[in-house]
Amino acid sequence: MKIMVLLWLISLAWFGTTSSVNATMRCLVEPNSVKKALKQSAAVFAGEVLEFKTGRHFMEARFRVERSWKGVESEEVLVLADSTAESPHYRTGEKYLVFAGIQYGKLFTGNCSRTRRIADAQEDLQQLGEGKAPKRSSSIQRAD
């Protein structure tokens, strides 16, 4: 039993120094309020995933925007995501409430993003209010 406790403490000390564990723990310890997430995000919108691609380092989702609260005006937008456990895992045809920042000059959802499926975001949507419909456009909005 003492060996198990010792191994657990060693693994906790070892993994506690890695950034991915710290990011996970930060997400659990400091959940963002909707108001704080809106303020910290470069873009906040609700939309449906039209296309999803997996790249070498990132995943890319193309959304049809239905409502926007910040940073998105066009009907379609591209969003990158990393492939960590804490990041949103988009699925084509699913609708999401997206809170995106900017990384590498592009919209990005990663660790600790408040992004979630619309079905799980009803309380957030109520707090955000009505939002705005996107402007008709033939181009995809990119952050770069």
DSSP H or E stretch at residue 125: helix 122-128
For the four alpha carbons of 105, 90, 94 and 45, in that order, the dihedral sign comes to negative
Residue 25 binned pLDDT confidence (cut-offs 50, 70, 90): very low
Residue-wise pLDDT for 46-75, tens only, equals 999 999 888 777 889 999 999 999 999 999
**Topology annotation, domain 32-141:** OB fold (Dihydrolipoamide Acetyltransferase, E2P) (2.40.50)
Q: What pLDDT is stored for residue 127 in this prediction? A: 95
With a CB cutoff of 8 Å and minimum separation 6, the contacts of 13 are none
pTM, two decimals, is: 0.74
pLDDT at 3 over 50: yes
Query: Per-residue pLDDT averaged across 108-128, rounded?
Result: 90
Residue-wise pLDDT for 74-93, tens only, equals 999 999 987 765 567 789 99
